[in-house]
Structure 1
Amino acid sequence: MDEIKGKKKFRMIDAILSVICVVFVAEAAAPVAAIGNSQYFWWIFLMIGFLLPYGLIASELGTTFDGEGGLYDWVRKAFGSKMGGRVAWYYWINFPLWMAALAVIFPEMIELITGIEINIAVAIMIELAFIWIVTLIAFFPISDSVWILNGAAIIKVFLAVVVGALGVYVAITQGVANEYTLTSMLPSFDVNSLSFVSVIIFNFLGFEVITTMADDMEDPKKQIPQAIVIGGIVIAAIYIFSAFGIGVAIPTEEISTSSGLIESLQLLTGNPTSLFITVAAILFLLTLFGNMISWSQGVNSVAAYAADMEDMPSVFKKRRKNGIPSGAPIMNGIVASIVILLAPIIPNEDLFWSFFALNLVMFLLSYIPVFPAFLKLREIDPDRERPFKVKGSKGFLKVLAYIPMILIIIALIFIAIPMDTSAETLSSTLPITIGAVIFIIIGEIIIRIKHKSPKI
């Protein structure tokens, strides 16, 4: 029987669909396509070099240390509260930056489908409306918004499949905008392309959420790693399929990181103002709400939990009577709003990529300590029961942990550090570098204040 005391067990298909709902983000398809044909190499390489070891490590940590704090808890247990505080800060601050990035898409998409130019004041009002709608929704239990999450998941996959299918049809009947040869699919070490490779790693992170469902699974020891790996492969296949469609329609160097998905649909259908394109654009915008809502509770809960442990500012401790964090969502809205209001003075014309890349930097930074924490926890707490345990010698486990960590560090270098001194590179990369430094310094100030030694 599939029921124990009337409670249904979580099937493998349920776990995989849940992973896809949380991890797959439609707006990442265009930045991935901007890598060019070498993206196919990087997907395969990172599935083996990053997803597999990360999936195994997340499976062990998530089922062994299943507290409310997630990766913050893992790092805090391994390296203490200061390092845990850094992880909590990086993990939280990425969310309002991501929210600001998605907010920028709204006026751009409206301009794209209507042809009407929106002035800066109106654009900012639209962006702020998105930010505060998401902020208000975050005050309520995620179960109240499950219809939004399920709908967004279906729409994401639908749009990706439609772009890919149209790409196949147009490629067969009309030809392609980019050359598809074996040589063109070999790894490209073009600096601009490599900066987008970090998006693939971003698309593989967050799978540890599946470990929270362990109690509802028939065999979590097998199902969790299988769900992570299978879910990752399915998500990679969806991204590759949609990125192929974008690549058929638009030359790589002309792909917009923010509106590339809808622009490709316009070109593939040959009718940029049709009802289908308008509906597709509206559906795409709805998925952005789904992304924010699906991540908000987890991010806000980690921030609130870290504040309870005195590793984040006290404002994050605030909760509603139902236990849902209220301080964290308000801070999300405030920070995202400040970023949007500062946007007009940022020199990079691609505001979506500026904010999205800064979100990537902070998000990736939060995961770097997770891998050495895995090794440290094996060393200091070897006798704890591990429902899922990665097998292998100490040497193998070190390789398993350090390879994905090194890949994250390399990705951060390409995304946040200017590789040359040309005006174009500096204007596109320096805002990301400066923003990352500012938020890292703010984090260090918070840690210093929270862990200041008592005066004698």
Structure 2
Amino acid sequence: MPKKKKFSLMSAVLSVICVVFVAEAAAPVASIGNSQFFWWIFLLVLFLLPYGLISSELGTTYIGEGGLYDWITKAFGHKWGSRAAWYYWINFPLWLASLAVMCPGLIETIFGIKLGTWTGVLIELIFIWLIIWISFYPVSDSVWILNTAAIIKMTLAILIGVLGIYTALTKGMANQFTLKSMLPTFDLHSLSFVSVIIFNLLGFEVICTMADQMENPTKQIKQSIIIGGIVIAAIYIFSAFGIGVAIPTDKINTGSGLMDAFKLLLGTDTGWFISIIALLFMLTLFGNMISWSFGVNSVASYAAENGDLPSVFAKKSPKNQMPNGASIMNGVIASVIVVVAPLLPSQDLFWSFFSLNLVMLMLAYIPIFPAFLKLRKIDPDTPRPFKVSGNNTFLHILAYVPVALIVIALIFTAVPLDFSKSSLTEQLPIFIGTIIMVIIGEIIIKVKKVTKEGNTREDINDDSK
């Protein structure tokens, strides 16, 4: 009798929470002000709900390690599959670098010490390669890390919400709460951070790449997405409310927001409780990166095996078949970024790397929604254990509203629309980085196409002999 797999429904739900719930993104969202509550509710309804439903159908219909790459390739062919796989993968080392640059500050808070620049870089490299090392092992071996990180994330979010409400009740509201203040202002500052909320709601498809390590993937994928989505929405709104009522928005910076929030609420920058919070927060960063690494590496490896990404991504461990090639490339690129970072002009490095990461990730998601419609049309006979109900008009609205929201968010995040010196300094690197990453993706598509055509001609010649 085969050994029962370790990835239970509870582990699947906690993995969804670990993947989707992004604690480090609290600060950029909080900096919007009270209108963040409008955007949370607006995007939960018009983005998270459609995205969760569509991911549930695609994930339970096309189970496998290819994830979104598989869905998009089936619908639109290898060129679009290659694009999506590249954007999806490259976001990870950028994100890994953005979290790594937070670690020295957290170490300083934990131990009450001051680190030098290159000591900080060494800590960043240790963070990166510890993530890479863990990603060499199957997700079922690391499930306790994902479960623990999810629980810690929920605990921190609930704690910040409770502390915020307590502070507001005892010391008064930090920000004026009126109906007008909660309505969107549509200024460039607010709109540039709306993309962070969308980013906070992405990741449901990662659980689909873990299907082969689940007890009952068809059932668990659907349940984990639904249950996890409800829990995540509730926690986001509660923690956002706690921060919003207790902390003036101009006192939180985008690079260390959650820790700033705790320090402001507790009225101290030091102490054993602050050290524990910093340690727990660092553990959530590990959990986030480990959970995402399984998804992006599986997609990159699968795409490489199908000839749509460089062959280095297809290299697997002979011992456990984990995609070590993709993992090592993550580590190499993230390491180069953090080593070069101290030489860059002084700026918010976390936000620069994080912004480029979320731009690339959102680009990967755009084809998912039309792929859902296309697969309904060209592949209607494949059994769908979970099927989104509704007429054709409703399904088109369900698919294209999220696409429109992603495109709008991308424009306000990546394109410099404010030509003041400070804004250009912040956004030009993101815009230039986006262009470079897109060009690299197109070069990969061109090279892989030529390689495929050459292999095809060789096969034809061999068959004719």
TM-score, length basis structure 1:
0.92
**How many correspondences in the alignment?**
451
Cα gap change, 1:333 to 1:218, in 2 (>3 Å): closer
**Aligned twin of 2:387:** 389
Measured against aligned partners, the alpha-carbon deviations of 1:325-371 in whole angstroms (never above 9, x if no partner) come to 11111100111011112223444611111111111001111010111
Q: 1:68 aligns with which of 65, 84, 90?
A: 65
Letter in 2 for 1:417: V
The gaps in structure 1 that reach 5 residues or longer are none
**Aligned twin of 2:86:** 89
Q: Is the 8 A contact 1:9 1:217 kept in 2?
A: no
Letter in 1 for 2:281: F
1:382 partner SS: coil
CA distance in 1, matches of 2:3, 2:443: 51
**Aligned twin of 1:407:** 405
CA distance in 1, matches of 2:75, 2:246: 48
Q: Is the 8 A contact 2:12 2:207 kept in 1?
A: yes
**Aligned twin of 1:434:** 432
Deviation, structure 1 residue 249: 4.2
Q: 1:37 aligns with which of 31, 34, 39?
A: 34
The gaps in structure 2 that reach 5 residues or longer are 458-465
**Aligned twin of 2:330:** 332
Measured against aligned partners, the alpha-carbon deviations of 1:435-454 in whole angstroms (never above 9, x if no partner) come to 11111111111111110143
**Aligned twin of 2:462:** none
Cα gap change, 1:7 to 1:138, in 2 (>3 Å): closer
Cα gap change, 1:7 to 1:309, in 2 (>3 Å): closer
CA distance in 1, matches of 2:335, 2:427: 22
CA distance in 2, matches of 1:258, 1:237: 24
Cα gap change, 1:233 to 1:186, in 2 (>3 Å): farther
**Aligned twin of 1:418:** 416
Aligned 1:65-214 pairs, distance under 5 A: 65-112=62-109, 116-211=113-208
Aligned 1:266-415 pairs, distance under 5 A: 266-321=263-318, 322-347=320-345, 349-415=347-413
CA distance in 1, matches of 2:227, 2:339: 41
Deviation, structure 1 residue 305: 0.8
Moved more, 86-95 or 345-354: 345-354
Letter in 2 for 1:135: I
CA distance in 2, matches of 1:348, 1:377: 47
Cα gap change, 1:308 to 1:219, in 2 (>3 Å): closer
CA distance in 2, matches of 1:257, 1:188: 20
CA distance in 2, matches of 1:159, 1:247: 16
Deviation, structure 1 residue 209: 3.8
CA distance in 2, matches of 1:28, 1:114: 24
Deviation, structure 1 residue 242: 2.1
Q: Is the 8 A contact 1:348 1:428 kept in 2?
A: no
TM-score, length basis structure 2:
0.91
Moved more, 177-186 or 77-86: 177-186
2:408 partner SS: helix
CA distance in 2, matches of 1:138, 1:263: 30
Q: 1:21 aligns with which of 13, 18, 21?
A: 18
CA distance in 1, matches of 2:348, 2:295: 29
CA distance in 1, matches of 2:106, 2:4: 44
Q: Is the 8 A contact 1:60 1:388 kept in 2?
A: yes
| Identical-pair percentage | 64
Q: 1:449 aligns with which of 428, 447, 450?
A: 447
Q: Is the 8 A contact 2:109 2:274 kept in 1?
A: no
CA distance in 2, matches of 1:401, 1:86: 20
Cα gap change, 1:386 to 1:438, in 2 (>3 Å): same
**Aligned twin of 1:257:** 254
Q: Is the 8 A contact 1:316 1:327 kept in 2?
A: yes
